Amino acid sequence: MPDDDHRSAGLHGAETDATYDRAGFGAAVPRGSRPALVVVDLTRGFTEPGFASGADLTREVTAAAVLTTTARQHDVPVIYTAISFTPAEADGDSCAWLRKAPGMRALREGSDEIALDPRLEQHAGDHLVLKKGASAFHGTSLAALLTGLGTDTLLVCGATTSGCVRATAVDGVQSGFNTLVVREACGDRAQGPHDAALFDLQAKYADVIGLYDALAYFDRLPRRSTAVSLA
């Protein structure tokens, strides 16, 4: 079931909830039998407060580690994403996003900022998608990868909730995937944007679910067959 805790957060009261309910938003998202987990930008530049673009996302990284471990145990594909700019892109003027957010220029290929948080493990069977925009779908092979994996449901977590997580979840549903956002494994630099993004996602694009709901979903999945038919 969707996690409704965010509906009582400070920005949103009963009147707002009633307005959205009347508009017909917030229906439950179907859950298929072949999900994939997309872990958005849990790289050091976002998860460690020592970096200018980062924050202390210890709790969120811990939740994501539980998610990824459990996903692998149930043969659910794990896909990490990371923002990575070439030196020419980071130092030049070709990327419009960097004109608006120049602090992101530090996310250069090979830098500590784009390294996966060391509290997360990247296994040989995991996938990595490098991107240059907020959405993990924009300008990448993610949609083709998910289609090739036979994915029917997308679980999204990571950072930041109001930026790349939101953009990825929106593009996920627009690409035809039932989309779930795992609340405890999403983090942001400030609480207000985090709460607002989860409210909007739950209303229009995805089910915002709790960590234990996601784990229970994995537990209910049928075991995937790795056999290849030659018929």
- The CATH T-level fold of domain 33-83+114-220 is Rossmann fold (3.40.50)
Are the C-beta atoms of residues 58 and 152 closer than 8 Å to each other?
A: no
Q: What is the pLDDT at residue 223?
A: 83
**pTM value > 0.85:** yes
Distances (CA, A) of 87 to 51, 93, 97, 103, 226: 19, 11, 15, 14, 41
Which residue in 188, 178, 130 sits closest to 158, CA to CA?
Answer: 188
- Measuring CA to CA, which residue among 210, 207, 215 is closest to residue 172? 207
Residue for token pair 């999204």:
156
Q: Which conformational region is residue 128 in: left (phi greater than 0), alpha (psi within -120 to 50 degrees), or beta? A: beta
* Residues 215, 4: Cα–Cα separation, whole Å: 17
pLDDT for position 228 = 43
Mind listing the pLDDT tens digit of every residue in the chain (231 residues)? 555 554 444 456 788 888 888 899 989 999 999 999 999 999 999 999 999 999 999 999 999 999 999 999 999 999 999 999 999 999 999 999 999 999 999 999 999 999 999 999 999 999 999 999 999 999 999 999 999 999 999 999 999 999 999 999 999 999 999 999 999 999 999 999 999 999 999 999 999 999 999 999 999 999 876 544 444
| Residue 153, token pair as written in the block | 């449901």
Active-site positions read 164
Task: List the alpha helices (DSSP H) in 24-159.
Answer: 44-47, 58-73, 87-91, 96-100, 142-148
Alpha-carbon torsion (78, 202, 119, 113), positive or negative: positive
DSSP 214: H
Instruction: Tell me phi and psi for residue 156, to 5 degrees.
Output: -120, 135
Q: Report pLDDT for 17.
A: 81
Query: Between the CA atoms of 169, 173, 178 and 181, what dihedral angle is there, to the nearest 10 degrees?
Result: 10
For residue 3, the model assigns a pLDDT of 54
